[in-house]
Amino acid sequence: MHTPLSYLTIGTQTIRTLICCALILALSLPVRGSNQSEASKPQTSNTIKNVLFIIADDLRANVLGCYGDQFCKTPNIDKLAQSGLLFERAYCQGTSCGPSRRSLMFSRYQGVGKINMGQHFRQNGWYTARVGKIYHMRVPGDIIAGTNGEDIASSWTERFNSPGLEAHTPGDYACLNLNIFTDNLEMRESTKMPNRMFVTVQYDGDGSDQPDYKSANKAIELLRKHQDQPFFLAVGLVRPHYPMVAPREYFEPYPWQEMQLPPQQTDDLSDIPKLGKAKTISSTNPIGKHPDNQKRMWSGYYASVSFMDEQVGKIIDELDKLGLRESTAIVFTSDHGYHLGDHQFWQKSNLHEQVLRVPLVVSAPKLACGTSKAVVELVDIYPTLCALTGLTIPEEVQGTSLMPLLTQNADRIKPGALSFNNGFSLRTQDWHYMRYKDGTRELYDMNADPGEFTNLAQRSSFSPRLQQLEKILRTRLKRVGIQEKNQPTK
């Protein structure tokens, strides 16, 4: 068989280059039908007249039963997930409370826009209310003081704080990295104190004095009061954010002796760049000297999650009792995840999977139930709720409506998720690429290495993959208007 001369004049390398460029271009563009101009059009009828938005604090996705944890008891969130669409690959944009919550409320990757989500609903005639922490509040500082934190008043028709004693709650106090156990109310680590993130308190009580219990009760009160008008009700629960305070009954199912610590590997940190490491690490913090107390941290975290889950159940049960479920869209999520000893890391504010990945469940009448493996972002919530309720999506919104996924008309809407901390993260379906301000990088094959133990960025065999992901990252950053200085990669 003879090959035409016109084909022979195109070299094999040229053909490969053209194919590679086409692939990169395809991956860097939104899926057809899910771009912003299409998403800005109202996509539903007026059957959804209410929105219930619930956000937890510092909740990593994989501790929920519906995300695969077989030990932590979260029956109410699990039940909600069964009634809606659970997103397995949902990612935050900011890696701490302030930037993450600001980002999702304005649907901007960084900075703020002219109109936030609550304000948009309010200007369109909806009753909007905040209960608890939606924008950033200092926990425990603003919770103890009962103050508004960085809340934006224009978002709400009404707003309500839910104060509590936090670490000063009478009961069995522990500062686990310092190995302190006492019921004395004096000298407890609290607001702005360096060891406050390792505090647990278990006590004899029904939980009615706790911020999340108060937030759930206030939410129920508002549902009853405003059930006959369109409402956007945002409920911010502060657990499992430290201090991990809950009645004793929530600790009892999680004896510390039965807690399993995250797997560790020798020299795990040797291939993680300096800017990629957490601020709190077992090898440099006293928590590393107390493995039993690391287990107690997990016990306290699980207890706080279960207590928070019960409050979620109370709110949704009331929604059902009032007959509002068939006219209400429910969103449950968290502002970011959390490290509990993974890679010896504690807390948040870095670009690894346990910090970036968040739970996200959308339950809306007559829309999809099940699980989606599509990569989605917290900035997508704002345009999705607009589409669900028939509101026009403001032009400044940078997220993408999840409606193609909720209506099962698409299986993906974007090539990857962007996140920011000392640099940039691009999380695609199969890969996680991080480039820091100093040019250092991390690359993980998330199918072969979901725990992110082997950084492939320095391996020459993965250079083509790095180049591909770098081009996608730069295209995405340019599209959302984020300027960066070109720096040499290391």
Q: What is the pLDDT of residues 440-486, one digit of tens each?
A: 999 999 999 999 999 999 999 999 999 999 999 999 999 999 988 65
CA gap 74, 196 in Å, rounded: 26
pLDDT of residue 486: 55
Please check whether residue 37 lies inside any domain of the structure.
Answer: no
* More confident call, 231 vs 483: 231
Q: Take residue 186 and report the two structure tokens written for it.
A: 């004096």
Task: Compute φ and ψ for 458, nearest 5 degrees.
Answer: -95, 5
Mean of all residue pLDDT scores within the chain: 92
Q: Is residue 423 part of a domain?
A: no
User: What's the confidence (pLDDT) of residue 483?
Assistant: 83
Query: What pLDDT, on a 0 to 100 scale, did the predictor assign at position 461?
Result: 97
Give me the number of domains the chain comprises.
Answer: 1
Ramachandran bin of 171, using left for φ above 0, alpha for ψ from -120 to 50, beta for the remaining angles: left
Computed on alpha carbons and rounded to an integer, the radius of gyration of the chain in Å comes to 23
Assess whether pLDDT exceeds 50 at residue 404.
yes
Interatomic CA distance for residues 352 and 298, integer angstroms: 19
Q: Using 50, 70 and 90 to split pLDDT, how confident is the model at 47? A: confident
* Cα 488 to Cα 471: distance, rounded to the nearest angstrom: 14
Residue 484 pLDDT? 80
Q: What is the pLDDT of residues 303-355, one digit of tens each?
A: 999 999 999 999 999 999 999 999 999 999 999 999 999 999 999 999 999 99
Q: Report yes or no on 33 lying in a domain.
A: no
Percent of the chain with pLDDT over 70: 89
Within-domain flag for 442: no
Pairing label, strands 360-363, 441-445: unpaired
Residue 487 has pLDDT above 80, yes or no: no
Q: Which residues contact 38 (CB under 8 A, 6 or more apart)?
A: none
Q: What is the pLDDT of residue 20?
A: 42
State the pLDDT at residue 490: 59
In a domain, 44, yes or no: no
| Contact (CB, 8 A) for 312 and 54 | yes
Q: What residue ranges in 102-243 does DSSP mark as E strands? A: 127-132, 158-160, 172-175, 180-182, 199-203, 231-240
Which stretch of DSSP H or E encloses residue 378? none
Q: Which residues touch 422 (CB under 8 Å, ≥6 apart)?
A: 275, 276, 350, 351, 436, 437
Specify the pairing of strand 199-203 against strand 244-247.
parallel
In a domain, 339, yes or no: yes
| Domain span holding position 371 | 50-413
Q: Which of 145, 154, 228, 229 is nearest to 192 (CA)?
A: 145
Residue 196 in domain: yes
CATH, residue 203: 3.40.720.10
Task: Answer yes or no: is 56 within a domain.
Answer: yes
Q: Is the pLDDT of residue 81 over 80?
A: yes
Tens-digit pLDDT profile for residues 143-191: 999 999 999 999 999 999 999 999 999 999 999 999 999 999 999 999 9
- pLDDT band, very low/low/confident/very high, at 15 (cuts 50, 70, 90): very low
Does residue 102 register a pLDDT over 60?
Answer: yes
Q: Is pLDDT of 274 > 80? A: yes
pLDDT tops 70 at residue 2: no
Pairing of strands 370-377, 127-132: unpaired
* pLDDT at residue 28, as a whole number: 44
| pLDDT score at 26 | 44
User: What's the one-letter identity of residue 206?
Assistant: D
Q: Is residue 474 packed enough to be buried (19+ CB in 10 Å), middle (13-18) or exposed (0-12)?
A: middle
CA distance 204 to 198: 21
